[in-house]
Structure 1
Amino acid sequence: MSLGHATPATGELSTARRAVQPVRRHQLFHQPSRTAFWIWGSAVMAALGIVWFGVTALEFANPYFLPSPGAVWTAGYEMASTGQLWADTSESMRRIVIGFLISTALALPIGLLMGSVGRFEAALEPFIDFVRYMPAVAFVPLTIVWFGVDEGQKYSIIFIGTFFQQALMIMDNVKRTPLDYVRVGETLGLGTTKLLRRIVLPSSGPAIWDTLRISFGWAWTWLVVAELVAARDGLGQRIVVSQRYFDTDRIFFLIGLIGVIGLVLDQLFKIAGRALFRWSSTERG
């Protein structure tokens, strides 16, 4: 029997090997780099464009129903050269900004109070839940009766379609504030106002910003609905005019333009969010 160095058990060796092996980073919830984000996004968009070009080039679809990329680009160039496209775009942008700001200016304080004060939640959440299930498009005839076809009608549709969702989502964002943070603030003697300003808002701020970013996309949807029904200008109204003359190439271009504008604004929201909430970006990795 050898009295030399003792041989460790096989299980202990396996445990030791696992301990020194580098830990693999799990792919779930892993944030891609900005370069990878744009590479993958551009690749998918390019693939869809190639499929679109191939289907139209091989005449698998009637051009009245699916115009070619070249025809869509030509239609957009014609609208832009007359100045009509820029006028419609600026009008839609003005409406969306004003309507969204009106909705947000009311949803932020109401959602904050509902999320932090139980009496506000009990008083307002049933009514907001009741209204938010009503389709905003059903209010279009009423808003025309109430406001006519002027700008107030467009703002009211954006408000109805956006505010009630915003308020509830902001309430949920505020409710996710860790209670430990609030308890520490109470221990330090902070009053209600200071608790909201110094603890609740900074903690829920990144989630609230994401709520605003997402609801801004909903606001675009309701703006186009309002312009489709009653407007003298705007991208939605231009789509209606194009439909009357069966100009599907113009319709495709206008829909694509709305998508591009939305993509750009969404990325600007993300950039602003990273600048405003640097600690949140650092925690996500």
Structure 2
Amino acid sequence: MHSSTPAASAAPAAPQSPRRRRALAPLEPVGARARWLLGVGFFVLFVAVWGFFTLGGFVSPTFLASPVTMVKEAVLLFTEFNFGHDIGMTVWRVFGGFVLATIVAVPLGIAMGTWKSVEAFFEPFVSFCRYLPASAFIPLLILWAGIGETQKLLVIFIGSVFQITLMVAVTVGSARRDLVEAAYTLGANSRGIVLRVLIPGAAPGIAETLRLVLGWAWTYVIVAELIGSSSGIGHMITDSQALLNTGQIIFGIIVIGVIGLISDFAFKALNRRLFAWSTI
């Protein structure tokens, strides 16, 4: 009779597939399909947990509406309260103030990143203003510009312009010195260095900066619309808060997130198309 030890009788463990090991490896990229499935999966899980606590009666509807109630309130907003107009006004304010900030901030940031004397002159003031909350300017802006569209555009402008300026200056100032020296060796003058080396090299980083700050602009517009406004998503949220209508409040917040996400994807697609050679 032959006896076998447990080690001899145990079947060898199946080796883990290289693909599975790589999928769990740090910094390993995820495929486009898996990324979409994971992203959508989180939203599904979030709504499921939200529905469990609200529809199950664990949370009072006064404090948190259920997903079903939110959908009903969303239909009511579009059919009876002209919410499409509010969305259009908010989008206009965001992009209007953001474009104004971009027109001022990008040239100034390029100048600060290119010439150190310009940076020394502007940087202390720009850094100081960068820490001032845009909402703190609302009382002054109401006094100066009233409660119309100019005041709301200026809130977004103030909240965006200083951030863009410094980030663009850092991007331009971090240009590779070897490229600049090579351009000088090939006979380029100072103007040529700026137009043919610094700006083209910094363009992908500048575009990425604008994409990031556009997301911040959405937070500023809601603050601007909470005070002295008769239209916009922020105005709707304020009115709903007075009526304790959490369904409309939640839907307004979701609409902001969806529009911001769409604009972010559009910005990414445009950047990839314009700067296909960049790694950003």
The unaligned stretches of length 5 or more in structure 1 are: 1-23
1:147-162 aligned within 5 A: 147-162=145-160
List gaps (5 residues or longer) in structure 2: 1-21
Q: Aligned letter for 1:187?
A: T
Amino acid at match of 2:246: T
Aligned to 1:74: 72
- Name which of structure 1's ranges 74-83 and 256-265 shifts more when overlaid on structure 2: 74-83
| Number of equivalent positions | 259
Corresponding residue of 1:96: 94
- CA distance in 2 between counterparts of 1:25 and 1:185 reads 43
Q: After TM superposition, give the deviation of residue 36 of structure 1 in Å.
A: 2.5
2:120 and 2:66 map into 1 onto residues whose CA distance is 54
Q: Aligned partners of 1:80 and 1:132: how far apart in 2?
A: 38
When residues 31 and 248 of structure 1 are mapped into structure 2, their CA distance, relative to the original with a 3 A threshold, is same
Aligned partner letter, 2:181: R
Question: Where does residue 204 of structure 2 map in the other structure?
Answer: 206
Match of residue 177, structure 2, among 152, 159, 179: 179
Q: For the residues of structure 1 that align with 2:23 and 2:76, how far apart are their CA atoms? A: 51
1:212-223 pair list within 5 angstroms: 212-223=210-221
Distance 1:135 1:98 in 2: 19
- Cα 1:243–1:191, aligned 2, differ >3 Å: closer, same or farther? same
After TM superposition, the structure 1 stretch with the greater mean CA deviation from structure 2, 32-41 or 244-253, is: 32-41
- 1:1-285 to structure 2, matched below 5 A, reads 27-82=25-80, 84-281=82-279
More off after superposition, 230-239 vs 81-90: 81-90
Aligned to 1:65, the other structure's residue is in SS state coil
Post-superposition CA distance 1:3-52 (Å, at most 9, x none): xxxxxxxxxxxxxxxxxxxxx79955554333232122111111111111
Change (3 A) 1:118 1:31: farther
1 CA distance for matches of 2:159 and 2:169? 17
Q: Is the 8 A contact 2:111 2:119 kept in 1?
A: yes
TM-score, L = length of structure 2: 0.88
**Deviations 1:77-131 (Å, cap 9, x if unpaired)?**
1111236111001111111111100000111000111111101100000001111
CA deviation profile, 1:146-190 (whole Å, cap 9, x unmatched): 100011101110011111111001111112211111111111122
Does the Cα contact within 8 Å between 2:241 and 2:249 map onto a contact in 1?
yes
- One-letter amino acid of the structure 1 residue matched with residue 270 of structure 2: A
Which residue is equivalent to 1:13?
none
SS of residue matched to 1:280:
coil
* Whole-angstrom distance in 1 between the partners of 2:262 and 2:115: 36
Q: In 2, Cα distance between the equivalents of 1:277 and 1:28?
A: 27
The separation in 1 between residues aligned to 2:256 and 2:23, in whole angstroms, is 38
Q: Which residue of 1 aligns with 2:17?
A: none
User: Is 2:23–2:30's contact at 8 Å kept on the other side of the alignment?
Assistant: no
Measured after TM superposition, the shift of residue 197 of structure 1 is 2.0
How many Å separate the matches in 2 of 1:150 and 1:166? Answer: 25
Q: CA deviation at 1:220?
A: 0.9
Deviation at 1:193, TM superposition (A): 2.5
